[in-house]
Amino acid sequence: MFEKVLLRNIEIPNSHEIGVYENAGGYKSLATVLNNYKPNDLIDTVKESKLRGRGGAGFPTGMKWSFVPKDTKKTPLLCCNADEGEPGTFKDRALMEKDPHMMLEGIVIAAYAIGAKICYIYIRGEYELSINRVENAIKEAYAKGYLGSDILGSGFGLDVYIHRGAGAYICGEETALLESIEGRRAQPKLKPPFPAVEGLYGCPTVINNVETFACLPHIIERGPDWFKNIGPKESPGPKLYCLSGQVKRPGLYELPMGISIRELVENYGGGSCSGKIKAVIPGGVSAPMFPENQLDIGLDFNSLAAAGSMLGSAGVIVLDDTTCIVQVITRITEFFNHESCGKCTPCREGLDWSAKILLRIEAGEGKHEDLERLDSLCNTIFGNSFCALGVGASWALQATLKHFRDEFVQHIEEGKCPFH
Amino acid sequence: MAKVTIDGKEYEVADGSLILEAVMGEGIHIPTFCYQKRLTPLASCRMCLVEIEGQPKLSPACVTRVADGMVVNTTTERVSNTRESMLELLLANHPLDCPICDKAGECELQNTVFEYGAGVSSFRDEKRVFRSKDLSLNQVIIFNANRCIQCQRCVRMCEDVVGAVALGTIDRGMDSEITGFENSLVGCDHCGNCIEVCPVGALMSQPYRYTARSWDLIETDTTCAFCGTGCQLSVGNRDGKLTRVRSKYETGINGETLCAKGRFGADFIDSDDRLTTPMVRKDGKLFPVSWDEAMNTLLQLIGNNVGMGRSSGLVSAGLSCETLYLFQKMMRTVFQTNNIDCSNRWTSAEEDGSKLYDVLPDFFNSFYEREPLESLLEADCVLVVGSHVTDDNPVTDYLIRLSQQHRPNRLLLASARPSRLDTQSVASLRLLPGREARLFAALEASLTSEATGKISPLFDAFIAQAGALLEASQKISILIGSDIFRSAKATETLLWLQTYAITLKSLGKRVSIQFLFDRSNQLGAWELGLLPNVLPGWHHISNPAHRTLFEEAWNCKLPLTEGEDIHGILQSCAEGDMDMLYCLHSDPLSFYPDRELVEQSLSKVKVLVVQASHRSAITDRADIVLPGAGYGEEEGTLLNNEGRLQKLEKFRPPIKSARSNRDIFQQVTAVLGHQLGPCDSKSLFTELSKLVPSFSGIKYTDIKDPGSLTKIKPDVGLAKSTLPPRSLPKGDCENHPTDSFMLITGESRFHSGGLSLQSETLRGIEGEAYIEINKEVGLALGFQESERVTIKSNRGELNLPIKFNKYFDPKTVFIPENFPDLHLNKMWDKGEYPCPVNLIKIATA
Amino acid sequence: MPGNLREQIELITDRYPNRRSAIMPALFLAQKQHGYLSGEVQAQVAGILDVPEIWVFELATFYTMFHTEPIGTFHIQVCTNVSCLLRRADNLLKFLENRLQIKTGETTEDGRFSLSSVECLGACDKAPALMVNQDYFENQDEDKIDQILDRLSAMGMNVSRDK
Ligand SMILES: Cc1cc2nc3c(=O)[nH]c(=O)nc-3n(C[C@H](O)[C@H](O)[C@H](O)COP(=O)(O)O)c2cc1C
Ligand code: SF4
Ligand code: FES
């Protein structure tokens, strides 16, 4: 059995309380950092661990931190991305509900590394319990001196505030998230300047995911070597996988990076409901799905990228053979269409037309040309949209059209959905 | 410089320039929708995607900067296919209702499709329809959401440039829709800049709607005559009827922007109050007559008095240089008088008996900077005094706002009314007219660390902040608003301004001073001698050499003595010392701040000649009414605040029996047995450019966009006076009677002088005056928004609706000056400005 | 929550360097108090924060959790995204439509129930999932929904909107 690290406390009753967290060794890493590390050493340590962001893009965390200019007049800011909107993903919710202090400790460590004095935690609005638990954890941390103007007597200070999302998936995109905090419509912003240089309120800003923060105390506690020796070399560490869909034992699994899709689904998830897998989405619905014969790919950033998909948010969704692929991709496209912020032409207009056409095909009213139209829409959106939402949406559709073209054709030729 | 290869050819372009702007200079065209030079870049429409070698994705040319060695391709198959697809997507949901769309013919979408589109759409599902009927957002703006392509130019224009923040985008994704709060823009600036930048027919002008097809319009590029900013605009005519005004991208100081007055006010030329025929008074009533009869009457009435110097002329400073020049020439040569002045000064004579016109020549020859506003705004510190820029000179307000975008923290504001620029300033101060000298004295003292004594906490705090910024600044620009001319301390203010400027200069700083005039040709009027003491070009009446120059040029003798200014003129009339008053497009009865005095003058003056384009209070009192050409009916030039000469074009002949103003002068002169010389604008300009040093070297035909900047020649004009040491300004800054308010006036955002009230459109936007007051104070007094209350001064009272403004000074109230029927000038005691007033709730029956 | 809306909003503005940032939290507070964000309420928020009204309108309509129209006392939000769809959330939605006799997106005539189909709620391993106001209900089936509805129906009409 792989030793649980990120989820080590969640079975303990009242795991969200500070006492439980402290008993399990919590906040020791913070003390270590404040006593023994200079910010630059800390950044180096995180670089050494090869920790890559757990929010989706897998950007090396230490490197991101090192982009914050050292000599700016504006104090850097820190943001925690807890917007978790990618369908199939529920890991951050679990961390916030069950062990908010692990994330908080990571936040203080990161703030120390980049010299931030304020951190905003952007939590999606639906996560009421997470909001309450994190809010409470913040209060507890202040009371214990883990937050505030002089943390553990080190002279380093940090204030943490929650900014509550209100139902917009795009707010997970980091620049849209910043716009949202600034009180604007959450539309992605032009890069460069990158947030690390000019982000929230014009200040250098680092944005990391909840799980990324949660990894930090462990890297300090056990050392970067421990971390980088778990899983593949370029994409190491313990990882939370969200398993859902037509699988016998859906749930949140902490496993080493790089475990294969098949192993996760069969060994941990107990196999698919019907016993026959049709396809698996490996990293939330933005990640192109794989048909059954490609399930031996490792669930890590590089392996999945090489295979034409991505680890994304590690939302692994299993589709068994009772499932209509057209219905699934139609729903996915409708999701992206609904969540498109509307800023750029290809995503705003292209997804709407894609959804209209898909709905028609699913309803048995498709024509053969529709498939070409979808191909060309994907081409127009992919790579040309302003942010990765459009890219993800078209990528997922493109892959589905490729792997399961027969099923689309069947819908068109039979004039109905063969599954319904 | 960076070496880049664009479409196979190598170019040297400025480092860091945008690919789009770099290729534009090379004649390569990349289609765009969301890009617009002044607006914050968005890169959202994705029309401008180009290929950069080594980059897997296409890059938006509108935001990508060139780098040395970059290889850019704008015409590959991939690029053109992508463009085609973007266009196809934009069209897929577009209603394609070009046959009934106002924008047809000048629609960027239509044009771009024509040039880059595939021509056919392969989408067959139903189009998105927001609503079947267009959304009327206010009197001038109407919106068709179905045509919108979400380029967000309008929203950025409204927020970043105009600063109104009235338009926004609601909902998201495919449902994103441009609109105002609760789908209304009733409270917006009505500037229509959102309409102007809309690339398609989504935002439309209500007055223009369905009146013409763009290709049926004859457009004339001309200059706006509503304020001293001097915007360029284009008047569209259909069969001789004015149909719309628009601004043009990157044209004039204003680029594509205008204000409500400029964009929607030009219809004043077709108002019912246009004077269309000469009239003379018979048995106490005015009767229409022929031009011959009018001239005969004139001869009968004043023939004998010509040359006796008992005549005087008042003009509007909104007329062209050529017309004004010819008028003063007529007054001086034919009527032998220097009693000439502009009528738009909102103050009765100066408190201490000093005369503004004594300081003007020196000021304009030594202190006024003729410089493009754009470069003036690049200063390290911009100090604005005595102007509600947002209302007085709206486009100047935009330019100030824009200049702050990339270099903020340079603006200082001291004005009686709060304005939108306050939020952009480092420090702002509410300062009543008449206290500006105090301000300059205090700023000066802060430089020399002299103690001036405490004035008030707010004032002192402003001086501290402003002083620090000014001290740290190398280049300083000072913009002075028309408010200072409303005070009876205008002369003292100007002298203190000069003193302050001299001190700044002595510290090695570069100082530029410009006025923000409310009238479009105030600078021109003064420059051309519409003053009692100076001849055109700031030549002094009492300087024999100067006089000789003109006597030779005009071939006649000139009156020797300085004339009276407007106050003196009216006073003389009232005392029965004036035989004739000639009002040229000016109405002192409505706008001179002592109505009683004007009443007396009019009853005593023997002959009142009024030459104007529109009926007004004064035409009703005239002995002879001469209908003169209105805006756009006579050509000439205007000199804006920057000292830039711009063309005023004629886009139609004077209506009905009205005549060109200069033709009228010629007729008047002829009937009196004199000659005035040629009066066509070209010959006139040649004549006056010989006499006005700052105009020399400028040819009439060379005046094209962006106009011609005039230059003061240091060796001509007047000798520079060294300023006498000034004593500290008298009067303290906090002399409010505690139980009353101080009433001030000025321009409304939607009106300019009295003329714009003749515009049906502007009248529709704002048809009645109001009392603006601090919201909390108003509420504490038990008033409600729009409730009518009585405002009472020692002299008079008015009933007007209340308008709340939470930023207003608690002790100041404001009534716009633009409503002649209101008789606002009843409220003032002579020279008492600002004027103490009380507000009284009207008892409800 | 103690104090009136203005006081509550003033408290949160301290967290941000400018007042515009406080629009979202202010809208949550206003919605809690008024049930939904009418134009009047939006204007009130704009007034308290001293920001242009259009900024408030923009946000009130961008985010799905803000309601600019009245919403039922109990807002039933069924996740119909992939993981829940794979567990037949579409059937649950139809079942709810039948029970409540309304279509998705509508509110019952008595104003008690509104039914929405929403995007992923982050409860995918316990699909199908739904929310009633702020509460999660996971691993749902028709029987469980029946029970929930019965319980909610039994509650008086004077239940506050936010719980
Ligand atoms: C459309 C879109 C949605 C996203 N949603 C999330 C999200 O819900 N949570 C998250 O942590 N990152 C999300 N991301 C990724 C973030 O933009 C960003 O990369 C991440 O928060 C950085 O944190 P990390 O470096 O710790 O991964 C999203 C990205 C895109 C393009
Ligand atoms: S890709 Fe979609 S979500 Fe991203 S900017 Fe464009 S419209 Fe907005
Ligand atoms: S002009 Fe470049 S993206 Fe619109």
* DSSP per residue, C74-143: EEEEEE-SHHHHTTTHHHHHHHHHHHHT--TT-B-TTS-EEEEEES--S-GGG-S-EEETTEEE-S--HH
Q: How far is the CA of B419 from the CAs of A69, A223, B189, B769, in angstroms?
A: 37, 59, 13, 18
Asked if residue B87 lies in contact with residue B113, where contact means CB atoms within 8 angstroms, the answer is: yes
B408 vs B471: CA distance, rounded Å: 17
Mean predicted confidence (pLDDT) in C73-101: 97
For chain B, give the percent of residues with pLDDT over 70. Answer: 96
Give the largest Cα separation in chain C, rounded. 50
Q: How far is the CA of B716 from the CAs of B511, B525, B562, C40, in angstroms?
A: 22, 19, 20, 64
C37 pLDDT band, cuts 50/70/90, is very high
B210 pLDDT band, cuts 50/70/90, is confident
Ligand 3: which residues within 6 Å by Cβ? B 32-35, 43-48, 60, 62
Give the largest Cα separation in chain A, rounded. 73
Mean predicted confidence (pLDDT) in C91-108: 97
A408 vs A366: CA distance, rounded Å: 9
Asked if residue B437 lies in contact with residue B496, where contact means CB atoms within 8 angstroms, the answer is: yes
Chains interfacing with A (3 or more CB pairs < 8 Å): B, C
B724 vs B499: CA distance, rounded Å: 9
Q: Check CB contact under 8 Å for B173 and A339.
A: yes
- H/E stretch holding A297 reads none
B-contacting residues in A 166-195 (Cβ below 8 Å): 168, 170, 185, 190
- Packing angle of the helix pair A210-222, A39-49 (nearest 10 deg): 100
- The tens digit of pLDDT for each residue in B681-704 reads 999 999 999 999 999 999 999 999
Partners of residue B812 on adjacent β-strands:
B742
The pLDDT assigned to B730 comes to 58
- Structure letter (DSSP) for residue B430: E
Q: Check CB contact under 8 Å for B86 and A345.
A: yes
The pLDDT assigned to B817 comes to 94
> Cβ contacts (< 8 Å) between C61 and chain B: which residues?
170-172
Which of A86, A90, A281 has the most C C-beta neighbours within 10 Å, making it the best mutation to test the interface with C? A90
Please tell me if residue A285 touches chain C, with a CB cutoff of 8 Å. yes
- Ligand 2 pocket: which of A335, A341, A384 to mutate (most atoms <8 Å of CB)? A341
Asked if residue B172 lies in contact with residue A184, where contact means CB atoms within 8 angstroms, the answer is: no
DSSP B174-206: GG-EEEEGGG--TTS----HHHHH-SSSSEEET
Q: How far is the CA of B353 from the CAs of A280, B356, B490, B567, B731, in angstroms?
A: 92, 10, 11, 11, 16
Min CA distance, B423 vs chain A (Å)?
17
B291 vs B277: CA distance, rounded Å: 8
A21 vs A335: CA distance, rounded Å: 37
B723 pLDDT band, cuts 50/70/90, is low
How far, in Å, from the CA of B35 to the mean position of ligand 3? 5
A282 vs A258: CA distance, rounded Å: 12
Which of B170, B179, B184 has the most C C-beta neighbours within 10 Å, making it the best mutation to test the interface with C? B170
A102 vs A216: CA distance, rounded Å: 9
Cis check: omega of the bond before C70, within 30 degrees of 0: no
pTM: 0.95
- H/E stretch holding B650 reads none
- The tens digit of pLDDT for each residue in B755-789 reads 999 999 999 999 999 999 999 999 999 999 999 99
Q: Check CB contact under 8 Å for A338 and B125.
A: no
Query: How many helices (H) and strands (E) in chain A?
Result: 17, 9
B725 pLDDT band, cuts 50/70/90, is low
Alpha helices in B757-813 (DSSP H): 760-765, 775-780
List per-residue pLDDT tens for chain A, 420 residues long.
789 999 999 999 999 999 999 999 999 999 999 999 999 999 999 999 999 999 999 999 999 999 999 988 899 999 999 999 999 999 999 999 999 999 999 999 999 999 999 999 999 999 999 999 999 999 999 999 999 999 999 999 999 999 999 999 999 999 999 999 999 999 999 999 999 999 999 999 999 999 999 999 999 999 999 999 999 999 999 999 999 999 999 999 999 999 999 999 999 999 999 999 999 999 999 999 999 999 999 999 999 999 999 999 999 999 999 999 999 999 999 999 999 999 999 999 999 999 999 999 999 999 999 999 999 999 999 999 999 999 999 999 999 999 999 999 999 999 999 998
The pLDDT assigned to C161 comes to 43
- Least CA distance to C41: which residue of chain B? B182
Lowest mean pLDDT among A199-203, A351-355, B308-312, B728-732: B728-732
Asked if residue B401 lies in contact with residue B438, where contact means CB atoms within 8 angstroms, the answer is: no
Judge whether residue B220 has pLDDT over 90.
yes
Q: Which residue lies with its CA nearest to atom 3 of ligand 3?
A: B43
How many CB atoms sit inside 10 A of residue A192's CB? Answer: 9
Pairing of strands A77-82, A205-209: parallel
B427 vs B225: CA distance, rounded Å: 32
- Across A6-41, b (16+ Cβ under 10 Å) vs e yields bbbbbeeeebbbbebbeeeebbebbbebbeebebee
Mean predicted confidence (pLDDT) in B360-366: 91
Lowest mean pLDDT among B263-272, B608-617, B714-723, C80-89: B714-723
Asked if residue B762 lies in contact with residue B189, where contact means CB atoms within 8 angstroms, the answer is: no
- H/E stretch holding B77 reads helix B77-92
B154 vs B287: CA distance, rounded Å: 50
- The tens digit of pLDDT for each residue in B69-96 reads 999 999 999 999 999 999 999 999 999 9
> Cβ contacts (< 8 Å) between C19 and chain A: which residues?
183
Judge whether residue B184 has pLDDT over 60.
yes
Q: How far is the CA of B821 from the CAs of A355, A366, B769, B795, B825, in angstroms?
A: 61, 70, 10, 17, 10
Residue type, B505: K
Could you tell me which residue, B729 or B147, shows the higher pLDDT?
B147
Q: Check CB contact under 8 Å for B176 and A350.
A: no
- Packing angle of the helix pair A388-403, A368-381 (nearest 10 deg): 150
Could you tell me which residue, C162 or B465, shows the higher pLDDT?
B465
Name the nearest CA neighbour of A269 among A327, A310, A319: A319
What SS3 state is found at A337? helix
Q: Strands (DSSP E) along B212-295, which ranges? A: 218-223, 232-238, 241-246, 279-282, 285-288
What SS3 state is found at B233? strand
For chain B, give the percent of residues with pLDDT over 90. Answer: 85
- The tens digit of pLDDT for each residue in B513-572 reads 999 999 999 999 999 999 999 999 999 999 999 999 999 999 999 999 999 999 999 999
The pLDDT assigned to B48 comes to 97
Q: How far is the first Cα of chain A from the last one, in angstroms, to the nearest whole number?
A: 41
Judge whether residue B224 has pLDDT over 50.
yes
Handedness of CA B323, B328, B334, B335 (dihedral sign): positive
The pLDDT assigned to B735 comes to 52
Q: Which residue has the tokens 């649980």?
A: A4
Q: What is the token pair recorded at B235?
A: 């008047």
B845 pLDDT band, cuts 50/70/90, is low
- H/E stretch holding B343 reads none
Q: What is the token pair recorded at A298?
A: 């490792």
B88 vs A376: CA distance, rounded Å: 11
B391 vs B124: CA distance, rounded Å: 50
Q: What is the token pair recorded at B99?
A: 């046959």
How far, in Å, from the CA of B177 to the mean position of ligand 3? 19
The pLDDT assigned to B721 comes to 54
Name the nearest CA neighbour of B396 among B565, B229, B177: B229
A264 vs A253: CA distance, rounded Å: 9
Asked if residue B628 lies in contact with residue B315, where contact means CB atoms within 8 angstroms, the answer is: no
B652 vs B650: CA distance, rounded Å: 6
Please report the atom of ligand 1 found closest to the CA of residue A174: 17
DSSP A14-68: TTTSHHHHHHTTTTHHHHHHHHH--HHHHHHHHHHHT-B-SSSS--BHHHHHHTS
B190 pLDDT band, cuts 50/70/90, is very high
> Cβ contacts (< 8 Å) between B171 and chain C: which residues?
61-62
Chain centre to alpha carbon of residue C117: 12
B371 vs B279: CA distance, rounded Å: 44
Judge whether residue B54 has pLDDT over 80.
yes
B154 pLDDT band, cuts 50/70/90, is very high
Region for A118 from its dihedrals, namely left if φ exceeds 0, alpha if ψ lies in -120 to 50, beta otherwise: beta
Ligand 2: which residues within 6 Å by Cβ? A 170, 187-188, 340-344, 347-348, 385-387, 389-390
CA dihedral B9, B13, B18, B20 (to 10 degrees): -40
How many CB atoms sit inside 10 A of residue A369's CB? Answer: 12
How far, in Å, from the CA of A391 to the mean position of ligand 2? 9
